[in-house]
Structure 1
Amino acid sequence: MGSSKVCKMLTHQYVINDPLHQLFDAVRAISVQGYDEQRRVIYWNKGSELLYGYSKEQARGEKIEDLIIPEKLRKIVVNAHHNWITKDIEIPAAEITLRKKNGHEISVFSSHVMFTNQYNNKQMYCIDIDLTDVRQAQAQALFKEHMLETIFEAIPDLFFLMEADGTILDYHANNKNNLYISANEFIGKNMTEVLPEKIANQFKSHIRKTIQQETMTCFEYELSMPHGLGYFEARISHLAKYKQVMVIVRDITEQHKSAELIRHQAYYDSLTLLPNRFLALDRLSQILIEAERNNEKAVVLFLDLDDFKKANDSLGHEIGDKLLIESAARLQQVLRKEDTVGRLGGDEFIILLRGLTEHHNALAIAENLLKAFREPFKIGGRELILTMSIGIAIYPKNGTCASDLLRNADTAMYQAKALGRNTYSFFTKEMNTSMQRRFKIEEQMHGALERNEFELHYQAQFDAKNENIIGAEALLRWYNPKLGHITPEEFIPIAEHTGLIVPIGQYVMRQALNFLTQWQNADQQQYTMAVNLSPRQFRDMGLLSFIENTLRESNISSKYLELEVTEGVLMSGQSYIHQALEQINELGIKLSMDDFGTGYSSLSYLRQYPFDVLKIDRSFINGITLNEADYNLVKATIAMSHSLGLTVVAEGVETKEQLLLLRDLDCDFIQGYYFSKPIPAMQLLEFSARYYQ
């Protein structure tokens, strides 16, 4: 690339700042054009394309008088522009009749700004507003005129022109408070004389790289400013023709703080500030690697606060939150610095002990944990006694991977509950009845489909504003002659673990879509059907083709199917998950984030994946009429979702008061016992038929 071409490119890139053009590009309601000293178009926004009919490719490089100026005004416009350039006689804002590409005349209110860059080249910007609606156009023109002037004064970047050796020749800064030191202290000096050594060396290294590779380089650095620690991004380009470099410095302190906040929210529990499930399991994996390398034991303690739900429900969420915070603090006081305590969710905590060599070390820590909870909690003028049950799993005896150890510690915790609570239990293969029931459930699950033991119930969903039925969620139920009714909370994790969730999920999909066909035909309504997908189903390579075939066989359009996923599906971050969700979106199937608010990284998932629907968990809906915190959280969630283009469904609506509040908050759809509990297919047909009578 020639030096003159580089110079031209850099002049355009840095004199016409990208935030300015991003603003203009986002505005379609007004026309913004930029012209050089020869009146040639250097900028032409979308508003100009819409107003005058020329694309930016057609306009760029053409003179203003050849594009939009009528014949009778050309000489006046040319002279006026020349007088502004040479005599500094400004062109006043005025109403003027111009010409579109198709030859038609158009009246606009035109205002102008002349901008002189650091090379003393003048660039004129015109803002034209269609005067079809004169009053509105005049108000907008006045506003935009002031806005443009403000923008030119508010460009935040700092510009420095330097010799190749780092000597500072010139600078530009609209706000001189952004300078590290005053201009008279650095003009003519080498940056090594005015910047801290570490930062100066970074600049020298990147200047050298820019010159050698003939490419723009950038890097970030932190600098102690008079107002505090700041973070900056520097971009360096080589002006080869002049043997100089252009350095553009942008303050990214706020972005850096936001990124740090997002990272913290992704890995730490917002209430207790402890590592969340994701970070705790990641640390457990690292601990197991160290334990294997050093031939040591590692211990996982699974903790559950006894009767916390009762205290939370009876005393309120505020007291419950304070109990969780104080519990987290007590747990940390007992542990060594090298150990980890994390919050898995709700009232469940996990403790990871590394570098243990003896079994009794874990026993001593468990006893100290129980002892720490013997003192009453003093919260809100009350003294509350809170105990906990602890399950203990030891590496490598009780498992060699994080998931096995966590599951076995969880099982041991339930054994501690069965022993009377306020105690601990070590995991053993023979330890508890819950494991025996698990085996029985797993045994009976094989063949349950063939024996027709599964049945779908459907919970209707309603439009929050007019209370019309808009669809339903399909919910799986299981009755086994030997075990009786088995809850989804019991059998779904087992089906997931054994892989039986795949054929069971296919059964659910077929039944739900076949019923949807029957339901739509019966009521002549375009109902939707929501079906849950579990993590294991995403590993099924035939998932997408099965869904497509079932839609085709049921004669159901993909837009009437909604697939619900929870954070558990997304936490692994596996590429096949992302690919499957993208393919689901491409099929036109709606994608719903289920149980929103109960996880740890839901906001980041909404950015990463193509969700259409967000379902607010029933635990928050239950509290919206009871406490301001839940109300504000639901209100913010609905507003955020709508700003992202998401439809919002509130789960667990049980009272008219909840419905009215959600309606006031512009919630889209409602689901809950207030309208209907989950019911079998035939009952739903009867229910919807009666509902519209």
Structure 2
Amino acid sequence: MAAHPLPKQEFDYLSDPARLEALYRLNIIDTGTEGVFDTITRLTASLFEVELATIHLIDDHRQWVKASSNGICAPDTPVGKTFCERTVAKKELVLVPDLQKDPVYNTSHFVTGPLKLRFYAGMPLISRDGHAVGTLCLLDTRANIFEWFSDHDLSLYRYLADLVIRTMELRESHVNAQKRFLQASEEDGVTGLVNSRGVLAHLNEQFSKDNSLKSVAGMIQVRLPGLERIRRAYGTPFSNELLQQVVERIQKATQPADLLARTDDVSLLLTRISSASTGKQAINLITQWAAEQGQKLLEEFESPFVCGGENFYLSAQLGLAHSLSSDPSGYSVLERADDAAVKAQKDTPNASSMCWGNSELKEEYKHAVATESRLRQAVEQEQLAVVFQPIVDLNAGNKIIGAEALVRWPDSGEPPIGPDVFVPLAEELGLIGKMGSWVFDTACRTLRHWRDVSRQDLWMSVNVSPKQLQDPALASQLETITLNAGLRPSQIKLEITESGLIEQYGQVTQLLKKLVDCGFKLALDDFGTGHSSLSRLIQLPFDVLKVDRAFVSDSPEGAGAAVVASLSSLAKSLNLETVGEGVETDTQEAFLRQHGYCLAQGYRYARPLTANGFLDELDKQNNN
């Protein structure tokens, strides 16, 4: 065409920024076919009995076909060579009954070319803010299909065009809602950081790029278990404010290329992608970054955070891991970083540290899960065992007068697992109540058997887990088991650890009183390893003070000797019976005697024995 068919003022409207913004806001140009728009064009063609109905969108340089009643979308057409740009520019119906007779379009390629179009009608698609962004047009190779539109036809045509634009706007709202939902699902509402989903989406996007370089993702998981304690003590808003300070401090210690995320209530995740010509070089780069960045982060937690006018020191357990681009999902590296952070927390629960993740950690956790299953079965089927370590009277020639019941797990076919491992695991799994009751019942029945056979006035000492102390019915349960075994509660001493007492002092005082009222004697176990105040100790109804083996084994030459001596004086002033644990040598026994200890237990006298083995030991004692 020799000249543009539109006057300059109308042509300028095509490039109006507000019109283009309205068009692009629909997010529909260059999208694929959609059934709803194809259906509208077929309906339009049928209602107006034309060969072709199409939906066109026009920006400042081209016309693009969204839908066509025949299912064929023509290629883009440059502005200056289309019928619909007049409709858009005028923002009103344009009707050309015979294109061959129209002085503007009679030389158009659409008229003279293979299509040989003769009829055109275009109804503008007017956006909600009044801008024409495209057309719903009628096309035919026959002229004069309509020379004018009746009021009914014009109303129907406008309705169909309005249906097109409103459908586009609804589509845009739906797409935007999806984007907002996706953004919300990938974003942490407290810090504004991305979450785990956002990290994985970021990695997937980066790894999907066509890049000749080898890429590696490195992650540093930062666990802050102290945040949970602060939340419980000060409330969620306070802990969130403290968390925000942590985020700001970490961000200042990182680079713009690093992505910081919040993965759960007490964990942050720092991610970086490094690229190099070879995978080995990329791994070296990311390993160096993780090690150096991890050390920087640990240093950031050496100084306190100030919140509400108070100083708070937080320990950070860091888990480091990296992955090759062969794992585009990122799940593997994320899991390894989290596993490593968990291990760091387990190894150093009260101090900042970092740990590298590796495949061995996964096997370790698999073993832990299997152990949980076996322990659950062992407790349910009473496959545990109870052994008994004699307790001797130092003032009666080391005569056996009682025993401590100790639970063991004789797991056949597997490496032995000590009570220092499976007892805390039972507490974690909620099995300690059932296991503790079974151990107590076994100990009571065994004591009754010993007393019947030996005719000696023996007593039994049984450990009570801190978790058991949370059960308000514990006193009545233990009393019932004791009486059913034909014993008196006074023949049983319940050992309670100092650490367990500290953790729940306020909760257990009433329970301890109930146990004493039942007639049980209470022993404070492993005393000296915690931080109990003397005022609390004096207020609680203990009868026995057991001094931890760590201090006994350090006597008489080591620093522990002073503790052993001072605790003896303390016990005398409080009228408590004293037991020295872990006695292995004559020298240690002599030191206990020197400082007035009444009772002792340890390998010096006997290792833990079976019930029958204990009776054999009694026989040896009686025959000497």
Q: Report the structure, 1 or 2, having the larger strand content.
A: 1
Structure whose alpha-carbon radius of gyration is higher:
2
Give the TM-score normalised by the residue count of structure 2: 0.47
Give the TM-score normalised by the residue count of structure 1: 0.43
